Structure 1
Amino acid sequence: MTVTDRALGAAPALTHFAGRAGDHNDRAMVGSRLVAASFAARFGAEPVVIGQPQPALSVGWKEELAAALPALQEMSQRYEQLLGDGGVPVTALSRCAVALATLPRIAAHRPDAVVVWFDAHADINTPQTSETGYLGGLALSGPLGLWDSGLGSGLLPQNTILVGARDIDPPEQHLIDRGDIELVEVGPGLPEELRRAIGGRPVYVHLDCDVLEPGTVPTDYLVPGGLSLAQLHQAAEVLAESEIIGVEIGEFESPADAAPVAPLIDALEPVLQAVERPLNANRAGA
């Protein structure tokens, strides 16, 4: 699908994945609701809700995947429908593991696009290489076809860019070192390196909040050396130079309905404006 096709009437399609997906606490299920509400206010539309909050299990990947599978399958079907209709997904996730459902559909419908994965972790372990058995650590490797999640694959390594990953396990580092997947590191050269890596291709954005410096927003894993909100905004400006085919945000935690989401959404504003760009162009020409 081209930008012109999108301009024929596709609005941002808001989705809130509200259920558990490998959680070891309940806070991201609360936080995802806050992100979804912020999206709703920003775009003036209510999200489609997939799944429902349930107590975290905090068990191994196999049990977590089995428990989450019905909601993940529903999420996959949601993406299949909205992408088939030309929609642009703007999605609030609880945990990164929901990408097991979203990214295979992105790869199927937009094989020309690159997935830009903002995360403190590479998440390209497999059940065989993971030392923790955490489902979230397998979130990107499933869509890449490195193991069979039951939710599909099809994402090509050359269409995958890690940004800000710094807590990387040896098997993951091996894939990066041999050039299978590109890593853009945190630093003053990040905008230029990100622009080069994207190479003008359409972009799907995945943001795990732990890519940010600890304490910036509430999230689970605290890995020093992360992005500031100003650096995230600079990266968002680079992303917005391309066609943005969708956005998903996960791992925003809150113990109650009080965590401040606005600074995060403000940092991503260039990307959110780019999501609306074809629709606004169509309205202007009407």
Structure 2
Amino acid sequence: MTIHVLGFPTTLGLPRSAVRHGPEALRASGLLQALRRHDPHVVDHGDMAVPPGLTSDPAPTRVAKVVEAARRQRDHWLRVTRPGDLLLTIGGDHSTSLGTIMALAELGDDFDVVWVDAHGDFNTIETSPTGNPHGMVLSLAAGLLPDALGRVITPDRLHLWGIRDLDPGERRLLAAKRVEVLTPAEVRARREQILAGLRPNVFLSFDIDSVDPADAPGTMTPVPGGFTRDEAVDLVKAIVRGRNLIAMDLVEYHPDRDAGGLTNRLACAVLEAALGAWSRCDREASDAHQWPMASPHPF
């Protein structure tokens, strides 16, 4: 089994200028070495070339560019992945996640999406106040913008945790589609129940702004009232523990806005927590499979 790492430094979903992107900063802080402590089979695919986002583009053009980049990301994953591999993408704005969802669906995986975020990302062009597609990723995947992309995943597979900033039209869409939407307080109060409700296969998408700005200043869209750093790390461990993590991404980390490396350390801790839990689950599953065998090399 292999951990595939892909940098996706996209600004197509949230047009902005950047001196430094998240994938570069995390590699420089030792991300790959940390991952190899959990599994030596780590393949770094570098950064996917993505054009910059342009505020001059009208919203439909921004959406079309996001979908085109997602298709290239999907095609990359379909070329390299094998059963049992873990797909890890470092963004980039939250449009980073669309290509992975598309790839997993095309591979035929039966999976839930756990979207740890301050925002619902369920807007359409009509409901979005900004027209920025990083707030439309899940509505795109769920087929609510059919001119741009057909439905990839059904809304019942979506679990939005940590949400505390929704636009009015987005809120109505989420309610109409009966998407699970939980605030940080609700996650704290119902954690064991909601964890038990997840399917065995999980794609975990972790947005840095799910964490309170006091612990995560390095993001473009901070929202007060988020998880603490320790809560976020513990939640990620709990999501992965006992499940088959098939893909993960970490998004909306903007090094240019960080303070004293606080967000960088948070991002590394979240990734280490997820990969540590994943590698333990992998070893336990392997041990459980091999224990009844008469020979350690049955094949």
Q: Supply the distance in 1 between the matched residues of 2:214 and 2:19 (Cα, whole angstroms).
A: 16
Alpha-carbon contact 1:28-1:252 (below 8 Å) kept: no
1:134 and 2:132 aligned = yes
Contact 2:23–2:91 (Cα < 8 Å) also in 1: yes
- In structure 2, the gaps of 5 or more residues are 37-41, 291-295
What is aligned with 2:12?
A: 21
Match of 1:254 in 2: 255
Where does residue 270 of structure 1 map in the other structure?
273
**Please, which of 16, 27, 40 is the counterpart of residue 32 of structure 2?**
40
Match of 1:7 in 2: none
Q: Distance in 1 between matches of 2:267 and 2:225?
A: 18
- Partner of residue 189, structure 1: 189
Secondary structure of 1:47's match? strand
| One-letter amino acid of the structure 2 residue matched with residue 269 of structure 1 | E
The CA distance in 2 between the partners of 1:30 and 1:147, in whole Å, is 29
Q: Which runs of 5+ in 1 are unaligned?
A: 1-9
- RMSD over aligned CA atoms reads 2.9
In structure 2, how many angstroms separate the alpha carbons of the residues matched to 1:65 and 1:175? 18
Instruction: Tell me how far apart the structure 1 counterparts of residues 139 and 20 of structure 2 sit (CA, whole Å).
Output: 23
**Kept after mapping to 1: 8 A contact 2:237/2:277:** no
**Which amino acid letter does the alignment assign opposite residue 238 of structure 1?**
A
Other structure's SS at 1:141 match = helix
Q: Equivalents in 2 of 1:28, 1:278: separation in Å?
A: 38
- Cα shift readout 1:143-176 (whole Å, capped 9, x = no counterpart): 1111137555321111110011111122222244
**What is the CA-CA distance between 1:130 and the residue it aligns to?**
1.8
Q: What is the aligned length?
A: 276
TM-score by length of 2: 0.80
Kindly report which structure 2 residues correspond to 1:203-282, keeping only aligned pairs within 5 A, or say none: 203-217=202-216, 218-241=218-241, 242-255=243-256, 259-260=261-262, 261-277=264-280, 280=283, 282=286
| CA apart distance, 1:69 | 5.4
Comparing 156-165 with 61-70, greater Cα deviation is found at 61-70
Which amino acid letter does the alignment assign opposite residue 185 of structure 1?
T
Task: Write out aligned runs for 1:53-202 (5 A).
Answer: 55-59=52-56, 60-68=58-66, 71-84=69-82, 86-148=84-146, 150=148, 153-178=151-176, 180-187=178-185, 188-198=188-198, 200-202=199-201
Instruction: Please tell me the residue identity of whatever aligns with 1:239.
Output: I
| Conserved? CA contact 2:12–2:54, under 8 Å | no
Deviates more, 1:114-123 or 1:181-190: 181-190
Equivalent position SS for 1:230: helix
SS in 1 for 2:95: helix
TM-score (norm 1): 0.83
Give the 3 Å change call, closer, same or farther, for CA 28–138 of structure 1 in structure 2.
Answer: farther
Could you say if the C-alpha distance between residues 210 and 253 of structure 1 is closer, same or farther in structure 2, counting changes exceeding 3 Å? same
Q: CA, structure 1 residues 76+220, in 2 after alignment: closer, same or farther (shift >3 Å)?
A: same
Q: With CA pairs under 8 Å and 6+ residues apart, which has the higher RCO, 1 or 2?
A: 1
Aligned to 2:46: 49
Describe the SS at the equivalent of 1:90: strand
CA distance in 1, matches of 2:208, 2:117: 7
Contact kept in structure 2, 1:18 and 1:29, CA below 8 Å: no
Larger Rg: 2
Once residues 58 and 259 of structure 1 are traced to their aligned partners in structure 2, the CA distance between those partners, rounded to angstroms, is 29
